[in-house]
Amino acid sequence: MFLKRIELNGFKSFCNKKEIIINKGITGVVGPNGSGKSNIADAMRWVLGEQSSKNLRGTSMQDVIFNGTQTRSKKGYCEVALIFDNSDMRIKSEYTEIAVRRKMYRSGESEYSINNTNCRLKDILELFRDTGIGREGYSIIGQGKIDEILTSKATDRRKVFEEAAGIMKYRVRKEEAERNLRKTNDNITRIDDIISELSSQIEPLEKQMNEARDYLTLRDRLKELEINLYLYQYDRTGERIAKTEEQVRENEQEFQDLTEQIALENAHVLEIKKQLSRLQDEIEEQNVRLGEQMSEQERLKGSLNLLAEKENTNQHAMQENYEKRDAYEEQIAESEQKLRELNVQISEKNTAIDEKYAEILALRVRIKEVTGKSGDAQEGIDSVRAEVESARTALQTMLLDLNEKQVKAEVLSQKKEQAQAEIDRHNAHVLQLRQTIESLKREAMECDRQSADLRSAMNEAAQTIRVLQDERTQAEKKVADTARRLSEDESRLKLLNDMRDEYEGYFDSVRSLFKAAKNAPDISRKIKGVLAELVDVPKKYETPIEVILGNALQNVVVENDTDAKDIISFLRQNNLGRVTFLPTKSLKVRTLQKEEKSFLNMDGVECVASEAISCSDAVRPAVDFLLSRTVIVRDMDSAIALMRKTDYAFRAVTMDGDFIKPGGVITGGSLKKNNTGLLSRKRMAQELAENVAGNRKLLAEWNAALGECVKKSEAAQRLQHETLQKLREQEIRTAEAKQKFQTAQDTFISNEQVTADLTDRLTEAVTDCEQMEAATEALKKDTVQAQADFEALRLRQEEAEARAAGVAAQTSAIKDSLSAQELQQSELTNEKNILLREAEHLRVLIAQAKDGLGRLQQNSDALSEEMKELTHSKAELRGQLDGILERIRQAGEEARGKLALRDEWNVQAEETAGRVEALNTQKDLLIEQKYKFIASREKLEISRENYQNKLWEDYGLTYANALPFLKKDFAYQASVREIDEIRERIREMGAVNPNAIEDYTRVRERYDNLVLQREDLTAAGNDLQIVINGLLSGMKESFREKFAMINENFQKTFHDLFGGGYAQLELGEGDIMECGVEIIAEPPGKKLQNIGLLSGGEKALTAIALLFAMLNINPSPICLLDEIDAPLDDANVIRFSEYLQTLSKELQFIVITHRKPSMAICDTLYGIAMQEKGVSDIVSVEL
């Protein structure tokens, strides 16, 4: 077996996970001081179970976890593992490789595991027992261990030798056996004490057991008889209850039939009301529609009137158009006649101008002939003259064009002025129309607003009517519901009062007493009342109070014992039965003691039962007597906790009715849920009285509210009718205003279109004028330039003529004639131009007249088309009006039919309501009868429940559990007599311990068992002593033998390491298993002396010699030497190294060292360095 590797993760300075492979032979670990070499030794010691942080060079165990550096954060855990090769099976295990691992978290939690299976530290210690491996063994040797071996006491030093001798496992077994033996002896002592105590109890318990058997025989017979008696009474009462329940069922069936009939009638009433409501809505809607139709009728009439008015307006407009057309046609005819006359005149002028032009040409030919002989001068004159003539002609043409354009400009100016005047007239008319439209618009909007207000008022009135109708229906329902509840509560209250007056639910004797006391004033004065009637209990405490008091609620309260004695005599004289009395002045009240009251502050404690009850001072002693030592608690857990604390000194009752009696008897389970208890009956009567008063007041309030709803509904209907009339009138006014507004709007749009057309014409005329003016100005400029050119040419002509003076004389006459003709021609031309201008003016007038005539025709056509549309619209409106009138007639007939139907349904509703009222009266009688049946049944159920309670309270049996005890041949009278006899015999027996049989059996069985246990323990103790003696004998023999071998080897290794000298081990005096071990050493050259007198190096070498001697006897699979060669000088280090090398052939060593000789013998060398501050790193070298 050998160590294969060491794994470290987060242990001390080894931050990162590291793995150190351990080969056979010697593995060296070197490095500078502070690099973390010794942390490897600490890791081995820690994983093997070291628990002392001081031995690991720390202050707490968390110090072994990497604590971080300036550049690294601290780790949350550390882990170390040793992996062993177990091929030789030195450790008895099924594994050939064993991994021992320890992991620790910064929280302090530590885990151990073997081969990744969690285990205990004890398992690891047991695994390596007697192998030398362990935190206390000799597998890890440091300088501190060397000093401990040499300097510790001789007895403390013994542990190392026992480990080497291989007897540690036997010592552990022996110590465990001794502990078990001590425990066994202690148990025997305790059993002896208990046996002695039990033997003194057996004889008295046996006597009590015999008495208890007799008592139990009587009690069982009594139980059998009483159970049969209770079952008999329970069954008889059950039969009476069944008969009463049959009566209740018949009543309920009849009630159900009535309820269904009432429901059908109510449904019929509701359906009629729904139909009435729907019919009323239809009538209102019919009225609204009728109003709308009448408004539509008025609107149509107004529209027809407006159409007629508009038709009349259009006819007047068409008549005006006809008159304008005649004027235009007359103007066109006159203008065309004048134009024809002017055309004749222009034609005549053209003829005259042509004649003059022919004459002028003839004269010019003559002049040419006369002047043709003048040579070049004459040619020049002719040339200039031709140019002058051309210029004159051009000038005349320009003048004619200028005149024509001036005439056109005048005509366009007139058209512009006419268009502007017509636009101004239309703008004035449009402005007037716009003002009219705004006025009509405001009038229409005001009408719309008033109509909307009236319509909103109508809707509000309708909504108010619906709300009031709903309120009325709700009020009627509330009145009916309240009346029904009032009737039910009054019936139940009457029933409860009758039960109270008749003392229903009380014992016959109590009821008989109070009935008889009414006729005996002396007795009546002495009775204060029944306890249940004299106290008030909060509702939440009713259940625990009723359960704990039980029949005591029917106790009769009197002032003193004398009164009680007198009433008892009265009962006996009148044979009225037996009654329990509470004489308040004679009662001895026991309250809770001071120390008992201190427990009332416990969780779950409600209060003392007597403090939960309200009563008069005269009754208070009776309440305190019964309940001052009873505590109300929340639940059974609280009750048990309280009673345990107080040693079951008083009673505790839970809110659910379970209770614990003094001494520890517990009663509990389910309770029948009913409201028939005496306390709850009194509370219910008070609540019903309050409910009756409240319902009466509420009924009056709802009746008043119903009357108010009727008044408001009638007022709202009147308001709705008035508003409807106003709305109809307003809608007529609104229709008329809207029609006037629409007509004005149409007229305004038509005028706007005419204005737009006129504006377009004006714009066109202005454009034409501007263009004509521009053309005229340009022509004027051209004319001026042409006149200048003409004047220049004429001057040239005059110069030429001056040069041809001779020719002029010849041609003078001809020229004069030519000038005269040209002048005449010019005059004719001017006259023609004037005629042309007049003709053009006439043509413009004709065009304007025709244009106006076309517009009149368009307007007439539009008016004709509009007249057709008006005629068609009138026909449509008349058709709509006829339809409206027909619908109004039909709506009126339909409304009259619906009103008649409404009256018929109202009659049906009243008749049905009368039937419902009669049925409700019959239903109230059934309710009263039902409550009487229920009261009778409840009374019987109370009796039956009392029998059942007696079964439970006396014998802890339910009815079902008691049935097996039932005897078919049960005789009622005989059983009653036998019950009295048995009770008398039990009374004569006095106090009997019913638990004596069980106590005796239990004590006897325990006594016998303890005797057997003592015998078993005695035998076990003897066996343990034999084991201890055997272990002790084997340990002594083994230790003696191995100690001699260690001593012999020690002498040899000492001699080898020191190179001579002598050493010896000696056992101290006394028991070989307890004595100490002395070490004697005599180095060469020194006298034999105690080891304490040696030098440091000699001590170290002596301890090393002892270590090697132990390894030779019981080799450890791995041995770690942590700088044990540090105190040795060089010569001793060499001898140490040589000897270590010799041992390494058989053993595996890890050597942490600084010394070179030690390094030299290593087979593998690991260097530990801190390349990063605070973090150790490993470098390995194989040598």
- 37 is an annotated ligand-binding site residue: yes
For residue 582, report the phi and psi dihedrals to the nearest 5 degrees.
-120, 90
User: In the structure encoding, which two tokens stand for residue 320, read together?
Assistant: 């005006």
Sketch the domain layout of the chain as residue ranges. Answer: 1-138+1116-1182, 523-679
Residue linked to tokens 């017979």: 221
- 86 is an annotated ligand-binding site residue: no
How many CA atoms within 13 Å lie on the side-chain side of 968?
A: 0
The three-class DSSP label of residue 73 is coil
- 35 is an annotated ligand-binding site residue: yes
Can you state the angle between helices 168-371 and 158-165, rounded to 10 degrees? 90
- Neighbour-count burial of 1076, counting CB atoms closer than 10 A to its CB (0-12 exposed, 13-18 middle, 19+ buried): middle
User: In the structure encoding, which two tokens stand for residue 1071, read together?
Assistant: 């028991």
Write down the pLDDT at residue 102. Answer: 94
Q: How far apart are CA 947 and CA 602, in angstroms?
A: 36
User: In the structure encoding, which two tokens stand for residue 970, read together?
Assistant: 């049960």
With a CB cutoff of 8 Å and minimum separation 6, the contacts of 299 are: 731, 732, 735, 736, 739
Q: How far apart are CA 558 and CA 564, in angstroms?
A: 7
3-state class percentages of the chain: helix first, strand second, coil last, to nearest 5: 70, 10, 20
Residue 926 near residue 251, CB atoms below 8 Å: yes
Residue 814 near residue 370, CB atoms below 8 Å: yes
Element containing residue 103 per DSSP (H, E) = strand 97-105
Write down the pLDDT at residue 9. Answer: 92
DSSP lists the bridge partners of residue 1065 as 1079
DSSP lists the bridge partners of residue 1064 as 1080
Write down the pLDDT at residue 380. Answer: 62
Q: How far apart are CA 648 and CA 203, in angstroms?
A: 28
pTM of the model: 0.36
3-class SS letters over 398-411? HHHHHHHHHHHHHH
Residue 215 near residue 992, CB atoms below 8 Å: yes
Chain centroid to CA 1098: 84
How many CA atoms within 13 Å lie on the side-chain side of 872?
A: 6
Q: How far apart are CA 394 and CA 414, in angstroms?
A: 30
Q: How far apart are CA 1145 and CA 551, in angstroms?
A: 101
The segments of the chain whose pLDDT lies below 50 read 675
Write down the pLDDT at residue 805. Answer: 61
For residue 1081, report the phi and psi dihedrals to the nearest 5 degrees.
-135, 140
User: In the structure encoding, which two tokens stand for residue 500, read together?
Assistant: 């109270």
Residue linked to tokens 């039937």: 915
Q: Which fold has domain 1-138+1116-1182?
A: Rossmann fold (3.40.50)
Residue linked to tokens 């009145």: 479
- 38 is an annotated ligand-binding site residue: yes
Sheet architecture: strand order including 651-654:
605-608, 630-633, 651-654, 659-660, 666-667
Question: From residue 802, how far is each of 110, 794, 955 by CA, in Å?
Answer: 155, 12, 182
Q: How far apart are CA 655 and CA 612, in angstroms?
A: 12
Residue 536 near residue 613, CB atoms below 8 Å: yes
Q: How far apart are CA 904 and CA 46, in angstroms?
A: 109
What class is the 523-679 domain?
alpha beta
Assign residue 1166 a region (left: φ > 0; alpha: ψ between -120 and 50; beta: otherwise): beta
- % of the chain residues with pLDDT over 70: 82
Write down the pLDDT at residue 1094. Answer: 75
How many CA atoms within 13 Å lie on the side-chain side of 892?
A: 8
Alpha-carbon dihedral angle through residues 834, 835, 841, 844, given to the nearest 10 degrees = -140
Number of other CB atoms surrounding residue 773 within 10 Å: 15
DSSP lists the bridge partners of residue 1080 as 1064, 1090
Chain centroid to CA 230: 58
- 34 is an annotated ligand-binding site residue: yes
Write down the pLDDT at residue 378. Answer: 58
292-340: pLDDT as tens digits:
667 676 667 767 777 777 777 777 777 777 777 777 778 778 877 888 8
Can you state the angle between helices 158-165 and 1096-1113, rounded to 10 degrees? 30
For residue 1078, report the phi and psi dihedrals to the nearest 5 degrees.
-100, 140
